[in-house]
Structure 1
Amino acid sequence: MKILVGVKRVIDHNVKIRIKADGTGAELENVKMSMNPFDEIALEEAVRLKEAGVASEVVVVSVGDNSSQETLRNALARGADKALLVETEQGATFGSLDIAKILQRLVAQLEPQLILLGKQAIDNDANQTGQMLAGLLACSQATFASALDVTDDGRITVTREIDGGLEVLSLALPAVVTADLRLNQPRYPSLPNIMKAKNKPLEIISLASMGFLPSKQLTTLNITEPKKRNTRCQWLENAAQLVAVLKEHKAI
């Protein structure tokens, strides 16, 4: 079974995001970039399936400029077999539907049986690409996966986290699955694997060679930071004072 994993290069989750002075986006100069955390989980699950002998090959793909090669090398160091970069112009942005259409073309070319994605990217929190890709492929899908098993009959069983608890689905392959936080704990790439990753294949194809034109359905007009809250902290000596303050503000 071949597995295709989509990864995205985003601002590291530990970095405090700063907005550009002109309001056109987040400041990226001299900012640490990393693999999207949910994509790390999707990649880890694919590598575990390969280590268990269920999957034969793990291919990782990213859509972005030349700097995305660093993210793909990191994915190779974590256990992926080969990487594919759909190279775009520096600073180019794409909506979820455009990314889904690009992945649709890659799926037709590579013919994976399982497509694993993070449930969302932490830069836009759209949570749309996996669902759109499954719709375009007209295949099975399971979102917010917290557990995944491959059954003897060639199907997969996915446990989903929903508002009411857990939902278990049995899916026919090919299928699209998006990973939630509790699916696994991603590994850190070891130094020997980082060195080996330098010799693993990383193919770069241009977006133009795919004959794809972005739809540009969404346009960012302006980005601003949230307004600062006027919060006030008051120290209280005992519960009686707390009750008095709550009564003063008509909270009780």
Structure 2
Amino acid sequence: MKVLVPVKRVIDYNVKVRVKSDQTGVDLANVKMSMNPFDEIAVEEAVRLKEAGTAEEIVAISIGPEKAQDQLRQALAMGADRAILIKTDETVEPLGVAKLLKAVVEEESPQLVILGKQAIDDDSNQTGQMLAALLGWSQGTFASEVKIDGDKANVTREIDGGLQTIAINLPAIVTTDLRLNEPRYASLPNIMKAKKKPLDVKEVGDYGVDIAPRLTTVKVTEPPKREAGVKVADVAELVSKLKNEAGVI
């Protein structure tokens, strides 16, 4: 079984994000970038499937700038076999990403596509669902457990009411949640090997896909600063403030 794992280059989750002075977007200058944490979980799950003998080949793919090679090499160091970079310096919206991934799926013919449920930069949570719709494949979203059983995948999903286990037919799309696994740290020898592995670099134009943006960013602002709390003398004063000042009761 071949597994395709899309990964995205995003601002590292430890970095404090700053808005540009003209409010057109987020300042990316001299900011540490890393693999989207949910995609890192997806890579780990694919590697575990390979270690269990379920998967035979793992192909990592990223759509982004030249520097996205760093994230692909991280995926290679974790255990991916091959990596594809579709190079573009433009911001690609979820629908455009899904269209490009559809073209890659038709080329590579994987039986399973595992990707993060969302990216921590735009929080769209749409790409996996859109890709499943474009391909007409089964999908299991927000997965906290994945088990392959022949031509089916048993996916345990995290929903509002708790956990739901569904059986979906392969080929399928699975999007990962945080509790699916704990991604491994790549060993130094594997990191060195990954640096020497060739990447398959392509251009967006090679696929003839329309990725024109459908959305326009009007303004990006930082959230308002949280006001300091106050101490109250007793419950009566607390209730009074909640009723008369906060207006919540």
Task: State how far apart, in whole Å, the 2-side matches of 1:95 and 1:121 are.
Answer: 11
Q: Distance in 2 between matches of 1:233 and 1:192?
A: 54
- Misfit runs of 4+, over 4 Å: none
Map residues 1-252 of structure 1 onto 2, 5 A cutoff: 1-89=1-89, 92-151=90-149, 153-234=150-231, 241-249=233-241
Give 3-state SS (helix, strand or coil) of 1:127's partner: coil
* Alpha carbons 2:95, 2:211 under 8 Å: kept: no
How far apart are the structure 2 equivalents of 1:144 and 1:98?
21
**Structure-2 change in CA distance of 1:228 and 1:157 (3 Å):** same
For 2:167 and 2:211, how far apart are their aligned partners in 1? 34
One-letter amino acid matched to 2:77: A
What CA RMSD, in Å, does the superposition of the two structures yield over aligned residues?
Answer: 1.3
CA–CA separation in structure 2 for the residues paired with 1:72 and 1:206: 16
SS in 2 for 1:130: helix
Matched letter for residue 176 of structure 1: I
Runs of 5+ consecutive residues of structure 2 not aligned to the other structure: 244-248
May I ask how many residue pairs the two structures share in their alignment? 244
Q: Distance in 1 between matches of 2:213 and 2:184?
A: 36
Structure 1 regions of 5+ residues with no counterpart?
A: none
Percent identical pairs in the alignment equals: 57
TM-score (norm 2): 0.94
Change in Cα spacing, 1:247 to 1:145, as seen in structure 2 (3 Å) is closer
Distance 1:25 1:250, change over 3 A: closer
* SS of match in other structure, 2:114: strand
> What is the Cα deviation at residue 196 of structure 1?
1.2
Residue 242 of structure 1 deviates from its aligned partner by: 3.3
State the alpha-carbon separation in 2 of the partners of residues 196 and 32 from structure 1: 23
SS of corresponding position for 1:198: helix
Shift of 1:250: 5.0
Give the TM-score normalised by structure 1: 0.93
1:81 and 1:200 in contact (8 A); partners too:
no
- How far is 1:230 from its partner? 2.6
SS at match of 1:42: helix
1:55-94, CA deviations, whole angstroms, 9 ceiling, x for partnerless residues?
Answer: 00000000001010011111111111110000013xx101
Post-superposition Cα deviations, 1:30-55, rounded to whole Å, max 9, x if no partner, equal: 11101000000011000000011110
Shift in Å, 1:14: 0.6
Whichever residue aligns with residue 246 of structure 1, its letter is L
8 A contact 1:149–1:158 mirrored in 2 = yes
Q: Give the CA deviation at 1:229.
A: 3.0
